[in-house]
């Protein structure tokens, strides 16, 4: 199947995510999207870490909403959720962090990623309004099927937020078409079956599948799960519009006692991936 030649155009009033992919395309580059759990390892670390990752080459930031039962995540990110939850970090705190980040950076898109429960507790309309004011650009809720997401997507759209959805290796074409109708921002392609951090990444097989998904949607297609280093990031970026890395960064963050060392180590890993992707 022939891959569509996407053109991510932008206008002066374009949303941050649209503008980001239009810029990347104009520069002939692919996006790098790091994920970290908000509040891990300490609430004071998150905003400086976000800025450090942008300086190291991140194009979009995915910020995890702490949750007590992150069933789709592997042990590394699950522990990050536990550390954040144990310090009382809530969705409201995450929005405060994004507000603080926006004081210095009003360009880099921020997508929240997590589970429905915290959003439901806040209230869907309340969340959408407060998230938009804070400077959030999108939300991905891993436990909300796109076929039944109107209750969440509609208030988000009214507030100008994008709803990001997952496509997996075994998602049928008919469902991909349906996801494309309700999704915004970008499609998150899960490169492997299983939880975050799982091994067994076959970059050739993923690239073929990504090419197929791209032929079915005008949205950027970004690949996550299983990307651990510059080599895997560079390999997948040849086909994908962006690569998403989480477990490797969260693991790096947890391996340093001093916050400054942790931030520097994560930034160095992001920079290494950025360099590999730009070669």
Q: What is the pLDDT of residue 14?
A: 52
Report the C-alpha gap between 67 and 13 in whole angstroms.
Answer: 34
Report the C-alpha gap between 186 and 251 in whole angstroms.
Answer: 25
Is the Cβ–Cβ distance between 210 and 221 less than 8 Å? Answer: yes
Q: In the chain, how many domains are there?
A: 1
Residue 23, domain member (yes or no): no
Residue 266, domain member (yes or no): yes
Residue 18, domain member (yes or no): no
What H or E segment, with its residue span, contains residue 81?
Answer: helix 75-86
Residue 12, domain member (yes or no): no
Residue 20, domain member (yes or no): no
The pLDDT tens digits for 197-216 are 444 567 788 888 999 999 99
Active site residues: 62, 73
Q: What is the pLDDT of residue 197?
A: 43
User: In which residue ranges of the chain is pLDDT below 50?
Assistant: 1-5, 9-13, 194-199
Q: Which range marks the domain in which residue 87 is found?
A: 29-192+206-278
Residue 3, domain member (yes or no): no
The pLDDT tens digits for 244-261 are 999 999 999 999 999 999
Residue 15, domain member (yes or no): no
Q: Closest Cα partner for 153 from 190, 183, 177, 131?
A: 183
Residue 201, domain member (yes or no): no
Q: What is the CATH number of the domain that holds 139?
A: 3.20.20.70
Q: What is the pLDDT of residue 1?
A: 35
Q: Alpha carbon of 26 to those of 30, 81, 105, 257: distances in Å?
A: 10, 37, 21, 40
């Amino acid at each position: 199947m022939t891959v569509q030649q996407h053109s991510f155009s932008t206008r002066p009033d374009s949303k941050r995510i649209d503008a980001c992919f239009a810029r990347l395309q104009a520069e002939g580059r692919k996006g790098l999207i790091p994920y970290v759990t908000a509040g891990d390892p300490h609430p004071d670390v998150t905003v400086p870490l976000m800025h450090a990752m942008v300086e190291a080459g991140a194009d979009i930031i995915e910020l995890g909403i702490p949750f007590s039962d992150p069933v789709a995540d592997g042990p590394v990110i699950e522990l990050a959720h536990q550390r954040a939850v144990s310090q009382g970090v809530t969705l409201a705190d995450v929005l405060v962090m994004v507000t603080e980040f926006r004081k210095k950076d009003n360009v880099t898109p921020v997508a929240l990623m997590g589970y429905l429960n915290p959003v439901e507790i806040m209230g869907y309309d309340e969340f959408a309004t407060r998230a938009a004011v804070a400077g959030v650009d999108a939300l991905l809720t891993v436990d909300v099927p796109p076929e039944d997401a109107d209750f969440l997507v509609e208030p988000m759209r009214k507030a100008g937020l994008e709803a990001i959805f997952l496509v997996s290796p075994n998602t049928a074409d008919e469902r991909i078409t349906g996801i494309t109708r309700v999704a915004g921002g970008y499609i998150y392609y899960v490169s492997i079956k299983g939880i975050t951090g799982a091994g067994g990444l076959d970059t050739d097989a993923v690239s073929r599948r990504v090419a197929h998904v791209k032929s079915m949607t005008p949205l950027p297609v970004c690949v996550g799960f299983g990307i651990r280093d510059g080599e895997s990031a560079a390999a997948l970026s040849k086909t994908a519009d962006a690569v998403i890395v989480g477990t490797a960064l969260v693991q790096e963050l947890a391996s340093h006692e001093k916050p400054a060392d942790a931030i520097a180590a994560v930034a160095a890993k992001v920079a290494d991936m950025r360099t590999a992707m730009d070669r």
